[in-house]
Every structure is written in structure tokens, then in C-alpha cells.
Amino acid sequence: MREIPSHTDYDRYRTGSMAPKAYVSPTGKRYDPNRKKRSALRTTRNMAGGLLVAAFTVVTVVMLFFILMASKSDAAPVILGHRAYIVRSGSMSPSINVGSLILVRNVKPEAIAVNDIITYMREGGSSATTHRVVGIENDGGLKFITKGDANIINDPVPVESSALLGKVVLSVPYLGYVIGFAGTKLGTMLVLVIPGVIIMIRQIALLVEYSRKREHAH
């Protein structure tokens, strides 16, 4: 810590005409002009670390939920009343790309309008299809004319209202890839290990910072 020999130098430090450094005033008071800046940086760093841990925790919980649901049933997992599907074809590109995760809300067939994106079961099909509604027929029963955004022509067979699974309300790009990988043995192991490592590193960093503060205090 530097001792200021005169009031003249002290005034120059106060007015900023000299480079800001930690010093002791003529009255013996310790002054560090960069202290607030360092404190703000530490606060920002701690907040960012906390948000990162929270984000990893949420993603981990979601992926574990999907893994658990997939192991129990072939049906789509349900999140807050919405079915979740992983898009595995590019027929809806660029609106919904391969590897996206979509959330489908159960709605009445009468609530579907042209331009809505719906998920339905094809007649005789074993997996769900997600296409855009380009027309509605109501002759002898409600039916939807559908088409993939990437396709040139409409789907050959209209969708019966009884085959409707719901309306797409959310699409998250690439999340389906992550969840699909998490369902593998290696993916499940990483889902469990990575968040734990991050939390451990953060705790070590906090302990190191606490030790440094104690050393400076003494």
C-alpha cells in the first residue's frame, strides 16, 4: 500500500490527475478507487454462474423426464397438458426443422383454422405427422387438407377430425437432437455427470474466493 507524502499528491489522486491506485490518505484512511468496480464484476460473475447452474439443472430435469417417460411407454410425453414430439423429417422446413422439439396442445377440431400446424395420425400409420392446414372440408364430416411447407403438393388424403392429436403451439430448434441423444446410454451418463461437474467447479471457485477474502481481511 502506497503512502501519500503530501496533501498536494493526495488532492491529485482525488481529482483524477494521477493514475487511480490504492493508497492511504494523510489522515490514515485507506482508499481503493477500483474496489467498487471489482465488487461489481464479482457480483456479475456470481450471478452468471448461478444462472448457468440453474439452466443446466432445468435442462437436466427435462431430459431425465423424457428418458423416464420414453422407457415406460411409446406414447409421447406430456408436459403441462401438452404432448411433446421430436421432429424426424424435413417436410415442414423451414418453419420446423429436423431435430426440433414441438409441443402440441389438445384442441377441439372445430377450433382448427387454415394455416394452423397440426399433429395427427395417418390412417394405418404408426407415428404422428405434423403438417400445416391449407384447407378445411365440412362435407359429410370435418376434414383437414394438409401440406408440408417443404412439399410441392398437398397431402393426398384429407385428415379426419378423429385423427387429430392437437395443434402445434411451440417449436424449439435442435432440442430434439439433445433429448434424443440423452436417451442413449452415453447421453444419459453425460446428463447426470456434466451438471454435477459444473456445480462442483462452481463450489470450488466460491471456496477459493472466500479464502482470498479472508486472507485480505487479515
What is the set of active-site residues? Answer: 89
Which residue do the cell numbers 482525488 mark?
14
Cα–Cα distance measured from residue 75 to residue 72, given in angstroms and rounded to the nearest whole number? 9
- E strand or H helix at 121: strand 117-121
- Residue 134, C-alpha cell as written in the block: 391449407
Angle between helices 35-72 and 185-217 (to 10 degrees): 160
Burial 80-96 (b: 16+ CB within 10 A, else e): eebbbbbbeeebbeeeb
Supply angle C-alpha 111, 164, 137, rounded to 5.
65
- Residue 1's SS3 state is coil
State phi, psi for 22 to the nearest 5 degrees.
-70, 135
Specify whether the backbone of 74 is left (phi greater than 0), alpha (psi in -120 to 50) or beta: alpha
Torsion region of 87: left, alpha or beta (phi above 0 gives left; psi -120 to 50 gives alpha):
beta
